[in-house]
Structure 1
Amino acid sequence: MSEELQNVNQHIEDLSAEEKEAILNDFNDFKNYLNEQLSKGKKLGLSDEFLAKSAKFVADHLAKNEEPRNREQKLLQEMWNVADEDAKKHIALVLVKMVQT
């Protein structure tokens, strides 16, 4: 795992249960949080490719460790679970583009 992805993982692990719940409880809150994190990454000069890899990393984590809290998350989880690695990269890219609009 690259150092940058280790930093993403550390950030996820550092979130309290209350912070995770606040982010994941509402899909719009989740999108806003993801957009904020992507904006921070852009300001640090991270490439779109790296941001998409980070989004994929986070999506993998959520699919394995968190129960969906709304319909949108359930749909994303179902798509993620049937997708191959190439499709997951595309889903992550679409998610990045969606939250940046």
Structure 2
Amino acid sequence: MSQMNEGTTKDMNKIEETADNLGTEKKEAILQNFDTFTDYLSQKVHVGKKLGLSEEQLTAATKKVASYLAKNEEPRNREEKVLHELWKVSSEEEKEVLSHLILKLVA
């Protein structure tokens, strides 16, 4: 396995572990309402910026979270449904752009 793939696998495992540690009720509360979801992401982006993460690092993290959600969670509202459908039909390059736009939306 290449170093890049190994890093991606570790990052996805960490995202899955974090999602699992949220607990069902908290995760449901975050994902049920789009405003709550974007507020939660905004808080995490703010923490990342305080830690000195670059725009590219934040976009990469956003892409990993979006990939996790697309794979493991069903959309719970219309906005999430649109994002889910866009993610499914996007190329890797388009997912990068979409991740950047999501980051821009919540930052």
Is TM (by shorter chain) over 0.5? yes
Deviation at 1:14, TM superposition (A): 1.5
Residue from 26, 36, 52 that aligns with 1:29: 36
Distance in 2, Cα, partners of 1:98 & 1:86: 19
The answer as to whether partners of 2:31 and 2:76 remain within 8 angstroms in 1 is yes
AA at the equivalent of 2:68? H
User: Unpaired runs of 5+ in structure 2?
Assistant: 1-5
Out of 2, 14, 31, the residue aligned to residue 7 of structure 2 is 2
Aligned length: 100
Which of 74, 86, 99 is equivalent to 1:67? 74
Q: Which has the larger radius of gyration?
A: 2
TM-score, normalization: structure 2?
A: 0.86
Return the letter of the residue paired with 1:87: E
Pick the aligned partner of 1:48 from 52, 55, 58: 55
Offset at residue 88 of structure 1 (A): 0.2
Listed one character per residue, the Cα deviations across residues 34-84 of structure 1 (whole Å, up to 9, x for unaligned) are 000000011011111011101000000100110100000000000000001
- Which position in structure 2 is the counterpart of 1:77? 84
Could you tell me which residue of structure 1 aligns to residue 95 of structure 2? 88
Alpha carbons 2:15, 2:68 under 8 Å: kept: no
Q: Distance in 2 between matches of 1:66 and 1:9?
A: 11
* Structure 1: distance between partners of 2:60 and 2:80: 19
Deviation at 1:8, TM superposition (A): 3.8
Are the counterparts in 2 of residues 31 and 99 from structure 1 also a CA contact under 8 Å? yes
TM-score normalised to the size of structure 1? 0.91
Contact 1:55 1:96 in 2 (8 A): yes
